[in-house]
Amino acid sequence: MTTATATNLKQVPLLRRYLNLTSAILVVAAAAMIVVSIQNPSLLVNTLATGGMWALMAGGLALVFGVMNIPSFVHGDLFMVGTLVALFVFTPIQSMIQDAPNDFVLKWLGPFAGMILAFILGAVIGVLMELLLFRQLRRRSREQWVMNTFLLTAGLSIMFENVAMMAFGNLPQGISRYWDVPPIDVLGVPVAMDRLVTFIVAMGTLAVFALFLQRSRTGRAMRAVSMDETGAQMAGIGLTRIYQLTLALSCGLAALAGAVLIWLTPFTPTVGASPLLIAWYVVILAGLGNVQGAVVGAFLVAMVQQLTGYYLALNWVDVLPTGIIILVLLFKPSGLFGSEVKGVWEQ
């Protein structure tokens, strides 16, 4: 029997096994990126920096959907909370830096304080949301769960935005940059320090996130819950704790993205609306609940946005990704990386 399956596999022509829609799109995207980056390296830099942040947003969104079946529409407001934390933590640090321009530790590491605090506050909000809302709802009824949690998060989002508006007003408040230093030379291209750090933070966080899901005992438990809750309980995994961790992680990542990106998107009560939409584009494009796919999809969407903004016009940046998603869903309704196997980190 073993040999039969082995030969059967070999008989499928290599070309046909790898020639599918997903790989075709990935190859086209990679090719486009190479051509563009030769012509205009700053487009590549922007794609990687913003793509990394969309990956943090979309990854968290996919995680919450994969593990808890919650289509979150409050995710963008955690991004907004992140920009707020960054604003309030960095403003005093900024004046401290101005007072002591020779304190290099403060100058280089100070900006990270806001990012770390944003992650922590985001995680705390996530835990509270689980405790006060989703757990209560689950205890009462699991019927119509997806619809109910959609309404719950949408309502919560309106609350977040109005409270923010009451407390901080409608006007944009931001910082022009975290690091007041000349651009850094990366392979002959001058890159602003903030952009570089955005990229590095994104990559570092994504790597830790991936490693956590793939290798750690708790990450594995999270994936187990996403695939079979009963099976996970049989293994002694408590669902409540996993749910709490899932929301903490995903909300923390969204707030981190907001804090890191404040130099690009200053705080307004609705600053999270656009990142939320983009994260949803990405998650739908990649296949609902698939974190791995969401990370790749985020870079694809960021690339399409950059190309549209540069070659077409800025107000087209949301049109093209949506168009592409419609096309992908027409031909592959389960999304680019979707499959029958449900799980947050499986292809």
Please report, as ranges, the residues that interact with another protein according to CB under 8 A: 2, 217, 220-221, 223-224, 227-228, 230-239, 340-343, 346
What minimum distance in Å lies between the beta carbon of 109 and another protein?
A: 35
What 3-state DSSP class applies to 340? coil
Nearer to another protein, 204 or 238 (CB): 238
Buried/exposed 89-125: b ≥16 CB within 10 Å, e otherwise: bbeebbeebeeeeeeeebbeebbbbbbebbbebbbeb
In whole angstroms, what is the distance from residue 194 CA to residue 202 CA?
12
Nearer to another protein, 318 or 346 (CB): 346
> Is there a contact between 283 and 108 (Cβ–Cβ < 8 Å)?
no
Nearer to another protein, 238 or 323 (CB): 238
Cα three-residue angle 71-226-138, rounded to 5 degrees:
60
Nearer to another protein, 13 or 236 (CB): 236
> Is there a contact between 62 and 222 (Cβ–Cβ < 8 Å)?
no
In whole angstroms, what is the distance from residue 286 CA to residue 265 CA?
25
The dihedral built from the CA positions of residue 158, 161, 165 and 167, taken in this order, carries a sign that is positive
Nearer to another protein, 126 or 343 (CB): 343
Nearer to another protein, 135 or 220 (CB): 220
What minimum distance in Å lies between the beta carbon of 205 and another protein?
A: 24
Nearer to another protein, 227 or 324 (CB): 227
What minimum distance in Å lies between the beta carbon of 329 and another protein?
A: 22
Enclosing H/E stretch for 106:
helix 104-129
What 3-state DSSP class applies to 192? coil
What minimum distance in Å lies between the beta carbon of 245 and another protein?
A: 14
What minimum distance in Å lies between the beta carbon of 217 and another protein?
A: 7
Q: How many residues does the chain have?
A: 347
Nearer to another protein, 121 or 237 (CB): 237
In whole angstroms, what is the distance from residue 281 CA to residue 198 CA?
21
Residues near 336 by beta carbon (within 8 Å), at least 6 away in sequence: 21, 22, 25, 285, 286, 287, 293, 296, 297, 328
What minimum distance in Å lies between the beta carbon of 307 and another protein?
A: 33
